[in-house]
Structure 1
Amino acid sequence: MQLTAIARSLSCTNGLTSRLGRDKIKFWKVMRLTAILLTFACLQVAASGTGQTVTLKVKNAPMKEVFREIQKQTGLNVLVDEALLEKVGKVTLDVRNMPVSHVLNICLKDEPVSYTIMDGRIVVKPSSTGKFQSPIISTTNPQEPLAAIPIKGRVTDKDGNPLEGANVKVKGSKTGTTTDNQGRFTINVNEGDILVVSYIGFSEFTLSVTAAAINSAEGFSVRLNPAQTVLDETVIKGYYKSSRKASTGSIATISADKIGNQPVADPISSIQGRASGVMVTSSSGMPGSSFQVRIRGENSMSNGNEPLYVVDGVPFIFPTVLNQFTGANGNQSPLNSINPGDIERIDILKDADATAIYGSRGANGVILITTKRGTAAESQIAVNIYTGTRHVGNKLDFMNTQQYLEMRKEGFLNDAATMTLTNAPDLLLWDQNAYTDWQDLLMGNTANVTQAQVSFSGGNAQTKFLITGAVNKESTVLLGDFGYTRGSTHFSIDHTSKNGKFGLTTSINFATDKNDIVPTDVSQYFGLPPNFPVYNPDGSLYWYGSTQNPVAYLNRTYETQTNNLIGNNTLRYVILPGLTARANLGYTLTTMKQLQTLPASGFTNISPVPGSTAQYGNSDVNSYIIEPQLDYTKWLGPGKLSLLAGGSWQQTIQEGNYFLGAGYSSDALLKNRAAATSLTLRNYNYSEYKYQAVYGRINYDIKSKYILNLTFRRDGSSRFGEGNKFGNFGAVGGAWVFSDEKFVENNLSFLSLGKLRASYGITGNDQIGDYQYLDSWSSSTFPYGGQSGLSPARAFNPNFSWETNRKLDISLELGFLKDRVSLITSYYNNRSDDQLVGQTLSPQSGFSSYTSNFPALVENKGLEFDLNTQNIKKKNFTWNTAFNISFPGNKLLRYDNLASSGDASGYEVGKSTRIIKGFKFTGVNPNTGVPEFLDVNRDGLINSAGDWVVLGQTLPKFFGGLSNEFKYKNLSLDIFFQFVKQEAPTIDWGPLAGAYGGMSNKSTAVLDRWRNPGDITSIPRATVTSTNAANIAFRNFYRSSDAVWGDASYLRLKNVSLRYDLSSLTKRWKIAASSIYIQGQNLLTFTKYNGLDPEINGFDRRFVFPINPFGSVKTSAMPVLRTIAVGLNISI
């Protein structure tokens, strides 16, 4: 029941209800009045309702005007149901000095209402008989204290969905309560009290307690509107929720509209650049490829640094455990099985306060993915479909045939070498005018992408449901018929019993995808000679010696079939008011089948591969989790106390195998495992991971101004030895909203929010392989007596234990001009010790290395800034800007006895743990054209033992994003830029880079090479002989020096979305909502980097010691693709 108070001295709150006023007797000289006079005055006021008269002359006037005139003449406040008032007919009346009660009897005699005059008020309510009832006139002394009366009510959202846990409090008192599962509440009040209703994610609402509401059997019905400011937004922190204003943790949120504006298949790609402190890097532009995600740096030197992924409350398996072997797209991410269109929001938990509730699993941050759910509304069908194209957005600038051949001839001349058909077929055999653009040939096609999604939703206050189905299909830019297809379905249901005590929430996500690509990334062959023949005159593939024809790779296939099921059930029961029991039951099942065919036609005729082969891989991951939980909320003293206690029991079983088949009678049978005459088991793995924990949380909130949050968790992991399986972790967080202090409100009116928060906590990390503390044995390579023996491979380590992370976060949140401008500044300092690192052992021990907790300390600290502004806010035009930037810092603070360890060549105390070491390039000798390098230890020799220096690091120096949203009437435009400041190896870095002058094409930068004595340049001379000094210097030093290490920073136009809302035009056809849109992804990249893509080439560039000086540096991979798509949205 919406209540309206017609009162001279009252103002409406939230446009729904006016606050009751109380008659106040003003005394000119209060101290001179006696108690007798005060009593007399009160009695006089009490009787005024019956004795006062009014003079009215109205014609065909609404009853609302009559009440206003009565109020004006008598001072009586009028309380009436606004909806009821509209049912009262219009009035024509001409009276003079008539008692109020007589006037009302005349005006309301034919209306189904009754009224009461009491305590200086007129209360109008529906008649219980449906006809006019005689009035009740009360002369009760208004100054007599009234006993509190219980009143009922219900709180819902704008769609009528009940809001459980909403706060209902009497303003200015300690009386308060919370709503149950049905949104219902009961609270003791007096007439005239002001109730304040609040709920996270919704705007606060206030209303007055009236006599009509007290006498009504229905009580109050309150509908809350969604938050209008970021302060009221909901923040999801895993097991509980909070408002952003009352949150004590560092959390970033990406909403459904930001995700939906991007034509992407993997939800992780949608958060790229949109959250401070979160660095997301793609591994490849191939469909289904994975992403590397780092939240506030890398804490571990050698183990997992990936965050925990949680989908609808169910922890997701680690993204890279499935593959038995990999294709051109690398390890496939299971997250690619989640349809971005099914996602409601993604919340990223960054600091200890936010992540501590997840214990060791959240040591590297937590990414919460919440899928969409049904609403209490009429059944609705929604359709979203888009189609578009993708292509490579950047090509390397290689030399043409004439420039290439000139370099080759120059190399032979410099080395005084003789050309032969073996070392110079490009000069002596192949067409000197032929030209093949290998980039265009191998991945110059246009890929097509189409996605269609249909959803059906609806329900009522008790039961809501949502069913969606989606299909995503995309081809590739490769030469050949390759592609990726995914089908997915999502189902959710929410049910609450009539009494609001019992609730059930179910969510099921299932997806199946098929990825058909090539086993090898063909971008590594862009440097083939431009006149290398692709085909023979008869159309067959051309081969020359051991030189690989990359088109032959297209005869090989790599197929994966992945099925992914995520199910979650949440049961809840209200035991007592404020006390709720919950049980979360989750299950995931992921299966992957892999097939790689290697027909003989895909290899040269001198290839060592003996005929056609095929590889078959199978992986299964089963995981379940059970989490009982108790929540208790109570108003205690001046604030609200929230308690949470629960436990986790999780088990994950992984099993996989990999077989190699050979001896097929035909290449057509390669996909048939039974057709192989030889089938060899190459790998089998089985592991069982068990995890259990108990956790608790205490939160005390005083007026959303002073907030304290305490979290504790005791974790147990099967990955550690006896006596070390359990660890205790916890965090404390606090916030002070100083803008709510009186001295700030009175002196800094422009400051709409001022909040200081801080947190500190300790978490563990068990992101290591299973059974690492146990000793292991491997079969011997050399048999004895015809039998293969066993040899020790890993030593038993009972002291194998947790890595420990200590996290500190201090943040300042500011809002200006009613939150038109908001700024969040965060400083974090994370320190991780007890590092699990491998230590080299002497051969006499029987083991090569020994992994144990080592007193090495890694620090990640940095600054984050988030700025949001509402630049223009007009009726028909708005312009909003969002900007974030992060400055991460990574440093190895301590490593005892580093100089004598096997890691001495890879780490330096005081430097980043992701440094790259190499030779210091001093220039090209102008007389000889030979590259020269700094002799660091001055021993007269250039070698890695004493002459390596730190070239740079693979972690970014800063990164962020900039978004601008414009909306004009029905047209909206969203433009998003992503930027990264980083370093990376160039295309001539690494062991695969050939010397200038060799039989491989180079970029046009080589045109500035040394040619004659006296030339001043940084590009060495052309050389073709492996024994030549220039060639040796290139192979041994130049390609692992800072000459080929440089700036890989970039600014990328990541996303543009233009949408037009057609709803106003299509409603005539009973279409509730509709829009058309065009979206672009990875449209432009501004960079000085000389490779294909500064993002891809910056992936996984970690130094590996001590054998490989180039580590796992990837300098050639499929770049991210430029996408343009058009789409249509319809809801009926």
Structure 2
Amino acid sequence: MKKIILLNIAILFTCLLSAQVKITGIVTDVNRETLPGVSVSIKGTTTGTITDIDGTYTIQAKKGDVLNFSLVGMIGQSVTVNNQNVIDIRLVADAINLDEVVTIGYGISKKSDLTGAVASIKSESLTNSKVGTVTSALQGLAAGVQVSTGSVKPGGDATIVIRGVGSLRAGSEPLYVVDGIPVQGGLQDLSSVDIESIEVLKDASSASIYGSRGSNGVILVTTKKGTAGKTRVTFNASYGTQRMLNKQDLMNAQQYYELVSIAQPDYKWTSEELRLLSRGESTDWQDAVTQNGNYQNYNISITGGTEKLSHYLGVDWYDQKGTIKNSSFDKLTVRYNVDAIGSDWFRYGVRFNVIESKLNNINEETDSGYGTMFSAISSQPTAPIYTQDGEYFDGFLNTKANPVAMVDLLDKATLKTRIVGSAYLEIEPIKNLKIKSDNGGELVFYKVNMYEDGRMGQHYTEGGHANVMANKKKYWQTENTATYNFDLNEKHKFGTMIGFSASEVEYEEVTADSKKLSEILKYYNLGGAEEHGPNASYGVSSSLASFYGRFNYNFDDRYLATLTMRGDGSSRFAPGHRWGFFPSLALAWRLSEESFIKKNTSIISNLKLRVSAGKLGNQNIGDFAYSSTIALGGSSANYVFGNGLATGSVQTSIDNPELTWEKANQFDLGIDFGLFNNRIAGTIETYYKRTTDLLWQVPLPLESGFGSSLTNIGKIDNKGIEFSLNTVNMSVKDFLWTSALTFSYNKNEIKELYDGKQDVGKYLFVGKPIDQIYLLHSDGIWQINEASEAAKYNAQPGDRKIRDLKKDNVINGEDRDFGGVYTPKFYGSFTNTFAYKGFDLVTFFTFAGGHMINNSLNRYMNSYNTWGNMSVDYYTYYWKQDRPNNKYPAPRIGSAYANGDGTDANLQKGDYIRLRNLELGYKLPQSILKNIKASNIRFYFSVQNLFTATEFTGFDVESSDNTNPYPNARSFIGGVSMNF
């Protein structure tokens, strides 16, 4: 009997063994990058394995077993074994990833331990913007971070405002810190491929460690470091074309002739204009000065090393030919980072970056009123480009410039060389005590060579004009910190950091100007000109010294506290008022670690409540602004000397010995959440920030002899709410769909000005936002049956009607009223990523709304004026007796408010939603990559600015300049990314 039982057990065991099969597979991420170190286990057993360096695994399992796949930073997956022998898995990144380490001020922290409002952006997210700078690529990637297009010209940069405008004069851009070194001018000189991560410090707790420079938030950039192991080479190449968006629909020569003949029958046409009209031709000045631009970008990076020494080398070349002819920008970036472990207690490293760039023939922002596109819009279509003898036509009206001559003959080159470097030493004399000294700086050489040929038009100097401007900025800093972390009873975790820093910036500038010199000499020999000057030079310097510290407490990974203090002394303020002190406190409660949540629900995977409060500062003013200034020259400085006049010096500004810091007090409340194993994860935050002691030029009484004085005044409030959400919508076999949403709302309000004033100059108002619009309101067009009423206002049928709010039959400044704000009240983004086998598709939308835009081009295009051309829409719908509509006034010289100046006639809603990036990619399968020794090769095609829904009719709804705009473009880009 015993033998029978043993035999049956043996048979059963053999059957069980025979039921097991060998399962193999590859584990990759959404980008089809292989994932080593993934844990693969059979649910309910101790059987398991991990993936090797190529992401492959092998495990014995039977039908019905559940395989669990898990890796820190990724959302785990479970798969039931059926009849398959190969199970390939694609893991999705955990949007929260509580174990991920992020950069904070003078240190790092796990996400789970953060108590402040910190948004972390990985380098792969920056690829949503192929053309442009790193600054512009940040648009839509973090809630509360408003990125505005400053200029879309080649080499143009965007501006960033975090949680609302909080200053009248001292700027609202955040502090940018790259590898520990504060930089000015945004992030336009960086190469996105060199960036490892970007952290945005938004609240007082996270930003107060930077004290005097943190009131507008802080953006920390960490560049890539070397990795131990085999050398890895990455190569990226992209090329594309650009086509101008929103070409303005203007009248042709015949329509223009008809309209001028009605409004100005005595207008004197030039012989060249009559010749063009007689041939039935018309000049399209927009086409004449624009072209299809192109873009190309190539970069290569090499990383590798050992456990003791690692390095990263990156080389990037960016080249863009603009949509305005002869405009271009090219930039070469070289970065080299080295990190080394000298011993168990000694580490050191070096960061080195060199940038060389050249910007050609951009005059939009410096030649106000005569920029290329403004001239192209306003020049009369009856004017030819060239006269009969081949010279540039110069018989323009008030534009006084031939647009084609401007792009052909302007020679303007902006050259910049920037060298940035730092070196750090870190020692650990005893366990957990780290003492670090990080020293670095930057040297920037900037030069503008410009030559304006006299043939460019009446606006320019006859005989030619050359100007050379050169400046140099030298910055150095030292940061020295001591950090000590220790635990008590594995429940109480403490972290302390104290530090000292000092920095100094020196700036020098020289300008030389000459007129009437040949096009051969240009700016190469200013001494050969007939006229010289004005020439100028100056130099300034400023310094900052700081002491700071931070204390962290963590009880049982549930209750967290952070106390921060910083003291700054700045030479920019008056003696006795140079030191500012900026404390903050933040508390956090990880509710998801409490037993009453852990035991009762499997839905909540993360839940944390955060609250913080603190004070920040702003010193973004000129050097020595607290002291009076003296200038040479001016009529008031002339005095009798002998038989003639001599020129002396005169005081041009008044001093303010009380000038001190602009301060911002901020409160923040946030909730971080993750549901269903973080497949749904996000953050909700609300904040309140009050800025006091605003730095502003206060108007002075005339009897003082000065116009204004830089003074600390008033209060401004910013309050708002932010929301971000990341979801894994579908993950089925080879198909993956993820989404990301950000939404931000901000309310800005001036709470106090000075001396009890409720407004200043009718453009700053207590109780209203900083950028409140205040103007007359257009009320349509006076009609025939309103002739007698119109006469009371010296108007007639066909003129623009202005609302008489005071009902006194007089239109003046007293009839103005509020008409909205220029800054969006809300903004955000919506991203969808789809992946199927080797294909991926990304749709990236951005949106904004609740604001108005003054479409200043309308004042020329949608009313009759003596400046030049108008829109076809105006030609079709202007008022006349047999077409008595309310859209546009009649073409009449001298008509009051005809072009809408000072009224809301040119205001348009700024609401928009834009498909900023549509990208389709394909990655080669692993079977091919192995044969060519590559780990990843991806081809992609991207369309930027494919679609925009908006009521705005100008060149670009996001442009900060609607008078002299550089037109935005739709870009078509193809590229390849390869890793070896």
Shorter-chain-normalised TM-score: which range?
0.7 to 0.9
2:765 pairs, out of 904, 908, 911, with 908
Map 1:147-166; keep pairs closer than 5 Å.
Answer: none
1:964 pairs, out of 832, 854, 870, with 832
* 1:50-84 deviation line (CA, Å, top 9, x unaligned): xxxx999999x99x99xxxxxxxxxxxxxxxxx9x
Structure 1 range deviating more: 680-689 or 1082-1091: 680-689
1:950 & 1:1076 partners in 2: Cα distance? 52
Shift of 1:610: 4.2
Q: What is the aligned partner in structure 2 of residue 287 from structure 1?
A: 154
Count of aligned pairs? 882
Q: What is the aligned partner in structure 1 of residue 909 from structure 2?
A: 1047
* 1:366-393 deviation line (CA, Å, top 9, x unaligned): 1111111110111122221111111212
SS for the counterpart of 1:410 is: helix
RMSD of aligned residue pairs (Cα, Å): 3.0
Highest CA radius of gyration, 1 or 2? 1
Q: What is the aligned partner in structure 2 of residue 80 from structure 1?
A: none
Instruction: Find out whether 1:505 has 2:349 as its counterpart.
Output: yes
* 1:872-897 deviation line (CA, Å, top 9, x unaligned): 12342211100011111110112244
2:898 pairs, out of 1005, 1023, 1034, with 1034
Shift of 1:939: 4.0
On the 8 A contact 2:285/2:403 being kept in 1, the answer is no
On the 8 A contact 2:734/2:837 being kept in 1, the answer is yes
1:671 & 1:430 partners in 2: Cα distance? 43
Instruction: Find out whether 1:312 has 2:179 as its counterpart.
Output: yes
TM-score (norm 1): 0.74
Q: What is the aligned partner in structure 2 of residue 1080 from structure 1?
A: 943
Instruction: Call closer, same or farther: CA 1:941–1:426 in 2, change over 3 Å.
Output: farther
2:140 pairs, out of 270, 273, 278, with 273
On the 8 A contact 1:426/1:529 being kept in 2, the answer is no
Q: What is the aligned partner in structure 1 of residue 383 from structure 2?
A: 532
1:200 & 1:801 partners in 2: Cα distance? 48
Shift of 1:829: 0.7
SS for the counterpart of 1:405 is: helix
Instruction: Call closer, same or farther: CA 1:795–1:952 in 2, change over 3 Å.
Output: same
Shift of 1:588: 1.0
Shift of 1:665: 4.1
Instruction: Find out whether 1:816 has 2:675 as its counterpart.
Output: yes
1:436 pairs, out of 254, 278, 283, with 283
Q: What is the aligned partner in structure 2 of residue 797 from structure 1?
A: 656
SS for the counterpart of 2:324 is: coil
Q: What is the aligned partner in structure 2 of residue 588 from structure 1?
A: 442
Instruction: Find out whether 1:393 has 2:225 as its counterpart.
Output: no
Shift of 1:871: 0.2
2:818 & 2:360 partners in 1: Cα distance? 41
On the 8 A contact 2:861/2:871 being kept in 1, the answer is no
Instruction: Call closer, same or farther: CA 1:1067–1:231 in 2, change over 3 Å.
Output: same
Instruction: Call closer, same or farther: CA 1:158–1:462 in 2, change over 3 Å.
Output: farther
1:352 & 1:848 partners in 2: Cα distance? 36
On the 8 A contact 2:860/2:867 being kept in 1, the answer is no
2:881 pairs, out of 1009, 1012, 1018, with 1012
2:393 pairs, out of 542, 551, 572, with 542
Shift of 1:967: 1.2
2:578 pairs, out of 715, 725, 728, with 725
Shift of 1:849: 1.3
1:808 & 1:900 partners in 2: Cα distance? 26
1:478 & 1:636 partners in 2: Cα distance? 66
1:1126 pairs, out of 958, 970, 974, with 974
Instruction: Call closer, same or farther: CA 1:669–1:853 in 2, change over 3 Å.
Output: closer
2:732 & 2:958 partners in 1: Cα distance? 39
Structure 1 range deviating more: 816-825 or 538-547: 538-547
Instruction: Call closer, same or farther: CA 1:610–1:787 in 2, change over 3 Å.
Output: farther
1:384 pairs, out of 224, 227, 236, with 236
Q: What is the aligned partner in structure 1 of residue 822 from structure 2?
A: 954
Instruction: Call closer, same or farther: CA 1:386–1:238 in 2, change over 3 Å.
Output: same
User: Which structure has the higher relative contact order (CA within 8 Å, separation 6+)?
Assistant: 2
* 1:178-218 deviation line (CA, Å, top 9, x unaligned): xxxxxxxxxxxxxxxxxxxx9996999xxxxxxxxxxxxxx
Instruction: Find out whether 1:922 has 2:922 as its counterpart.
Output: no
* 1:305-356 deviation line (CA, Å, top 9, x unaligned): 1110111111112x1xxxxxxxxxxxxx6x3221112111221111111101
2:844 & 2:396 partners in 1: Cα distance? 49
On the 8 A contact 2:954/2:962 being kept in 1, the answer is no
Map 1:805-844; keep pairs closer than 5 Å.
Answer: 805-844=664-703
Instruction: Call closer, same or farther: CA 1:432–1:1021 in 2, change over 3 Å.
Output: farther
Amino acid at match of 1:1033: Y
1:280 & 1:576 partners in 2: Cα distance? 45
TM-score (norm 2): 0.85
On the 8 A contact 2:383/2:396 being kept in 1, the answer is no
Instruction: Find out whether 1:979 has 2:847 as its counterpart.
Output: yes
On the 8 A contact 2:75/2:677 being kept in 1, the answer is no
On the 8 A contact 1:926/1:1014 being kept in 2, the answer is no
On the 8 A contact 2:143/2:828 being kept in 1, the answer is yes
Instruction: Find out whether 1:695 has 2:559 as its counterpart.
Output: no
Q: What is the aligned partner in structure 1 of residue 712 from structure 2?
A: 853
Shift of 1:722: 0.8
Map 1:150-549; keep pairs closer than 5 Å.
Answer: 229-317=96-184, 319=185, 335-412=187-264, 417-421=265-269, 430-431=277-278, 433-443=280-290, 445-479=291-325, 481-497=326-342, 499-520=343-364, 521-525=371-375, 526-544=377-395, 547-549=400-402
Percent identity of paired positions between Structure 1 and Structure 2: 28
Amino acid at match of 2:599: N
SS for the counterpart of 1:1039 is: coil
2:646 & 2:190 partners in 1: Cα distance? 49
Map 1:90-129; keep pairs closer than 5 Å.
Answer: none
Instruction: Call closer, same or farther: CA 1:295–1:548 in 2, change over 3 Å.
Output: same
1:879 pairs, out of 729, 734, 737, with 737
2:349 & 2:765 partners in 1: Cα distance? 52
1:350 & 1:506 partners in 2: Cα distance? 29
* 1:692-738 deviation line (CA, Å, top 9, x unaligned): 11100011112322111110001111110111000111111111111
On the 8 A contact 1:254/1:274 being kept in 2, the answer is yes
On the 8 A contact 1:528/1:1000 being kept in 2, the answer is yes
- Structure 1: any 5+ residue segments left out of the alignment? 1-53, 66-82, 84-155, 161-197, 205-224, 320-332, 1100-1112
Shift of 1:262: 3.0
SS for the counterpart of 2:262 is: helix
Instruction: Find out whether 1:601 has 2:460 as its counterpart.
Output: no
2:597 pairs, out of 730, 737, 744, with 744
2:75 & 2:570 partners in 1: Cα distance? 43
Q: What is the aligned partner in structure 1 of residue 953 from structure 2?
A: 1090
* 1:443-490 deviation line (CA, Å, top 9, x unaligned): 2x11121111122221111111111212112212223x3321111111
- Structure 2: any 5+ residue segments left out of the alignment? 1-5, 18-36, 38-49, 55-69, 77-91, 365-370, 785-796
SS for the counterpart of 2:596 is: helix
* 1:267-290 deviation line (CA, Å, top 9, x unaligned): 111111221111111222211112
Instruction: Call closer, same or farther: CA 1:267–1:228 in 2, change over 3 Å.
Output: closer
Shift of 1:999: 5.2
SS for the counterpart of 2:135 is: helix
1:968 & 1:571 partners in 2: Cα distance? 47
Instruction: Call closer, same or farther: CA 1:610–1:998 in 2, change over 3 Å.
Output: closer
* 1:986-1028 deviation line (CA, Å, top 9, x unaligned): 54468867842645222233222211178241311111x3xx3
Shift of 1:820: 0.8
* 1:972-998 deviation line (CA, Å, top 9, x unaligned): 221100111143445446886784264
Instruction: Find out whether 1:1021 has 2:890 as its counterpart.
Output: yes
Q: What is the aligned partner in structure 1 of residue 416 from structure 2?
A: 562
Instruction: Call closer, same or farther: CA 1:988–1:580 in 2, change over 3 Å.
Output: closer
